Amino acid sequence: MRLAKYLAHGGVASRRKAEEIIAKGLVTVGGEVVTDPARDVGEGDDVRVNGALVGAEAREVWAVNKPAGVVSTAREPGARPAVVDLVDSKARLYPVGRLDADSTGLLLLTNDGALANRLTHPRYEVPKVYRARLAKPPGERELARLREGVELEDGPTAPAQVRQVGDREIEIVLREGRNRQVRRMVDAVGNRVVALRRVAFGPLALGGLAEGKARRLTDAEIEELRAATGEDASPGV
């Protein structure tokens, strides 16, 4: 297995971040610094990051119904609680993408960096479904502009699936993941999001999971997530 993938599977970071860590000379194999992310390593190799041994930790993926006020980070110094504190696991989990502190709903946590990268990279176009309550009822022109894509300060958004599900509520499906994207898109068409909840990520729906609760995904659900990214159900080395 390539070193960068080994680190990702060991829960250190996504594969891209693992490559950066390797390039900085922070990784040793058998006591020697290695800066080549393509270096082959195996389960019996002594692989360390900053001196800490990396093991092939069992893969875990969890679904969390994130409440408002909880941050989408592994740990945050300060008063605000972190989403990983909602999960009863000894694995080194980190969030797959983000929900801002004011937003609620489905957030995935995993120690599988390779899967996390594929789920969040725009190239794989994994859909994420949101329900947004707006400050005022949206007009047909607003909805049409959201569907077509709007111009933001970091460039135009891709077309989105949008439907009105209530007087002041819309459902929007995105296949890209910019910072606070739904809120900024709604602002750009002259409205404002007053509450935002993610209800699905790829094939996985929030369902009846209570707010503030978490559950570990089954192997079948994880394979469905992999399939949504175009990855084979049984990823090789």
Task: Supply the residues annotated as catalytic.
Answer: 100
What is the dihedral angle through the alpha carbons of 74, 214, 200, 229, rounded to the nearest 10 degrees?
60
Rounded to a whole number, what is the distance in angstroms from the first to the last CA of the chain? 5
Q: Write down how long the chain is.
A: 237
CA neighbor of 86 nearest in space, from 201, 211, 195, 197: 211
Q: Which residues pair with 130 in a beta bridge?
A: 172, 198
Q: Is beta strand 94-95 parallel, antiparallel or unpaired with respect to 169-174?
A: unpaired
194: left (phi over 0), alpha (psi -120 to 50) or beta: alpha
The token duo for 144 is 């049409």
